[in-house]
Amino acid sequence: MKIYHLPGTTPVPSQVSAHHARATVAGYAGPGQSPLPSPHSADVFDHLVDPTNGQTLGAYLATRRELLRWSQEKLAERSGVSVRTIRNLETGTIRNPRRSTTDLLLSAIGTAEQTDSASSHSVPSWLDRVWAGGRGTKLNPAARGRQGQWIGPPPDPDPLLGREEDEEQICGALRAHRCVALTGPGGVGKTRLALAVAQRLRGDFRDGVLVFPAGELTRTARDSERRLTALIPEVMETVRRAGEADRAAPWPEQAFRPNMLVLIDNAEHLLEPLTQLALRLLSECPGVALLITSRRPVGAPACRNREVGPLDAATSARHPASVDLFLRRVHSDCPSFDLTDQIPAVTKLCAMLDNMPLAIEFAAQWTRSVPLETLLRGNPAEQVLRQRRELGLPHQRELTHSVRWSYDMLTADQQAMLRHLAALPGELTFERIELAAQERGLTRESVAASLHALTDSSLIQVRRSMDYTYHMLGYVRELVLRWGAPDAPSVGLGSET
């Protein structure tokens, strides 16, 4: 931005750095400089024409207008001063403006900045629109401290089980790379793990944590992408305000640079606009780190994708994490019910549910009315598919809806391949899949492309070694086979908001 000076004043650099411009507007000044008054200050006009300050009204207006993200037309509309006059002031064509013109311009800018300042201390309006619960804490600079602020859905108060190593590695990855995406099937615990990581790293970020629940956006893909694209400027503005609100920094260079962890949750249906947002945050806000949860990998070049798998059944602790989770959930529902003498049966049940956290939690609810032995004699996957919880996103309240959410994102050919794989028992090698697919006239290339899409969607799990093997979760197989039956009913989720 060009800086002009009045005749007889000391010239200033032709470019003003972003942090200096922001500091000047906020009332800061560099070493040895006088701070600029606010637009409502009575002596602002005299200050701007004071030769010792090296500033002009044109530069002052351009800086303030830029920070408000106003065009010259917008300033003209708000002040009643013509666009031509504003342009001439900012280019230095008008060097001695009328006092009445100056008052109109400064009044319009000052009023807008006061409104912006008041609104920056509340939950962002876009977040209120996306997250209907509105449970986020308020943006309150006075409440900042070692822990920083938290904006958006809060972390789960229950302890995170069996994820200590994952949590440690994700924290290290975020510190090293700034952008990490947690991928995996629905119900594996990506959100809880991400919130636990954000809570742990909260004190590392001066401006705290911002949680963006992308899953709350409309279910229709086209409408969801349109809405997120429209929200990107508002998300960027919220992040910038987090830095602008911190005025305790000893030097302007340290203020107005947001230092925040942004968590974008449940983003698999919005990967294209999400990648745009990620690239902007990483390039424009060097103090911002980004943590994403998605059932599909994020394609941003700077993003490190990390798979989150089922709970590890092997552990050196007293019980595997999956068993511990089951016992805790049973105890929370029936405090007097003791299953410690049935650990082998609980371990077997968890294994039959592939040690998936959400499936285990649903199975634990059944023990309020059905003996554990009854669950084991039947098909536990069939039982948990009938269970429902009242909290969470619509597609996360039942395992049936959770799987359907991912299934509906596949093409017709990919759905057909998934149904074909569900009919093949046990773990599968690529050669076995290819051999079976040849009977349906599929080429090796099309099989590889379908497997790539299915593993990316987290509907197929892959164990990587010299010989890759592929595995489908038990309840996923149950549903896919059911949907592939000739008389299978439609179970689409429709449009969710």
Note the Cα 452 to chain centre separation in Å: 25
DSSP letter at 181 equals E
Q: What are the φ and ψ backbone dihedral angles of 388, each rounded to 5 degrees?
A: -140, 145
Contact between 364 and 333 under an 8 Å Cβ cutoff? The reply is yes
pLDDT for the residue 488: 47
pLDDT for the residue 289: 95
Place of tokens 């929200």: 231
| pLDDT single digits (tens) 430-484 | 999 988 888 888 888 988 999 999 999 999 999 988 889 999 999 999 999 999 8
pLDDT for the residue 92: 82
Average pLDDT, stretch 1-19? 33
More confident residue, 27 or 201: 201
pLDDT for the residue 494: 38
Predicted confidence band at 56 (pLDDT cuts at 50, 70, 90)? low
The domains of the chain, with CATH numbers, are 18-117 (1.10.260.40), 125-307 (3.40.50.300), 321-387 (no CATH), 395-484 (1.10.10.10)
pLDDT for the residue 300: 83
Sign of CA dihedral 337, 360, 402, 375: negative
- Range name among 7-21, 47-61, 408-422 with the lowest pLDDT average: 7-21
The yes-or-no verdict on residue 124 having pLDDT over 60 is yes
Predicted confidence band at 47 (pLDDT cuts at 50, 70, 90)? low
The yes-or-no verdict on residue 249 having pLDDT over 70 is no
How far apart are the C-alpha atoms of 403 and 458, rounded to whole Å?
10
CA distances from 57 to 62, 302, 315, 344 (A): 8, 42, 69, 79
How far apart are the C-alpha atoms of 401 and 396, rounded to whole Å?
7
pLDDT for the residue 48: 54
The yes-or-no verdict on residue 25 having pLDDT over 70 is no
The yes-or-no verdict on residue 493 having pLDDT over 50 is no
The yes-or-no verdict on residue 15 having pLDDT over 60 is no
Contact between 213 and 382 under an 8 Å Cβ cutoff? The reply is no
| 30 residue type, one letter | G
| pLDDT single digits (tens) 160-183 | 888 999 999 999 999 999 999 999
Place of tokens 């742990």: 200
Q: 54-58, 145-149, 380-384: which has the highest mean pLDDT?
A: 380-384
Average pLDDT, stretch 17-24? 36
What the block records as the tokens of 398 is: 């039942």
More confident residue, 77 or 485: 77
pLDDT for the residue 296: 95
How far apart are the C-alpha atoms of 365 and 383, rounded to whole Å?
11
pLDDT for the residue 202: 92
The yes-or-no verdict on residue 18 having pLDDT over 70 is no
How far apart are the C-alpha atoms of 81 and 132, rounded to whole Å?
41
- Range name among 79-88, 96-105, 227-236, 298-307 with the lowest pLDDT average: 227-236
Tally the C-alpha atoms within 13 A of residue 486's C-alpha that lie toward its C-beta: 0
pLDDT for the residue 245: 56
Strands 469-471 and 461-463: antiparallel
How far apart are the C-alpha atoms of 301 and 313, rounded to whole Å?
34
Contact between 406 and 186 under an 8 Å Cβ cutoff? The reply is yes
Predicted confidence band at 57 (pLDDT cuts at 50, 70, 90)? confident
What the block records as the tokens of 354 is: 């592939």
How far apart are the C-alpha atoms of 88 and 91, rounded to whole Å?
5
pLDDT for the residue 27: 36
pLDDT for the residue 7: 32
Contact between 476 and 421 under an 8 Å Cβ cutoff? The reply is no
User: Percentage of the chain with pLDDT > 90?
Assistant: 32
pLDDT for the residue 467: 85
Q: Secondary structure of 392-444 in the HEC alphabet?
A: CCHHHCCHHHHHHHHHCCCCHHHHHHHHHHHCCCCCEEHHHHHHHHHCCCCCH
Predicted confidence band at 218 (pLDDT cuts at 50, 70, 90)? low
More confident residue, 45 or 430: 430
pLDDT for the residue 412: 92
| pLDDT single digits (tens) 187-203 | 999 999 999 999 999 98
pLDDT for the residue 36: 42
| pLDDT single digits (tens) 251-299 | 444 445 789 999 999 999 888 888 888 888 999 889 999 999 999 999 8
Sheet holding 428-429, edge to edge: 428-429, 469-471, 461-463
The yes-or-no verdict on residue 143 having pLDDT over 80 is no
Mean pLDDT taken over the chain: 77
More confident residue, 222 or 229: 229
Q: Considering the entire predicted model, what is its pTM?
A: 0.70
How far apart are the C-alpha atoms of 478 and 470, rounded to whole Å?
16
Note the Cα 349 to chain centre separation in Å: 34
- Contact residues for 336 (Cβ-Cβ < 8 A; gap 6+): none
Place of tokens 């919130």: 195
How far apart are the C-alpha atoms of 131 and 121, rounded to whole Å?
18
The yes-or-no verdict on residue 227 having pLDDT over 80 is no
The yes-or-no verdict on residue 52 having pLDDT over 60 is no
User: Percentage of the chain with pLDDT > 70?
Assistant: 73
Give CA torsion, residues 226, 227, 232, 238, to 10 deg: 170
Helix pair angle (412-422, 430-438), 10° resolution: 110
Catalogue the long-range contacts made by 152-155 (C-beta closer than 8 Å, 24 or more residues apart).
Answer: 152/127, 152/209, 152/210, 152/211, 152/212, 152/213, 152/263, 153/195, 153/211, 153/213, 153/265, 154/195, 155/195, 155/196, 155/198, 155/199
Catalogue the long-range contacts made by 444-449 (C-beta closer than 8 Å, 24 or more residues apart).
Answer: 446/413, 447/417
pLDDT for the residue 120: 42
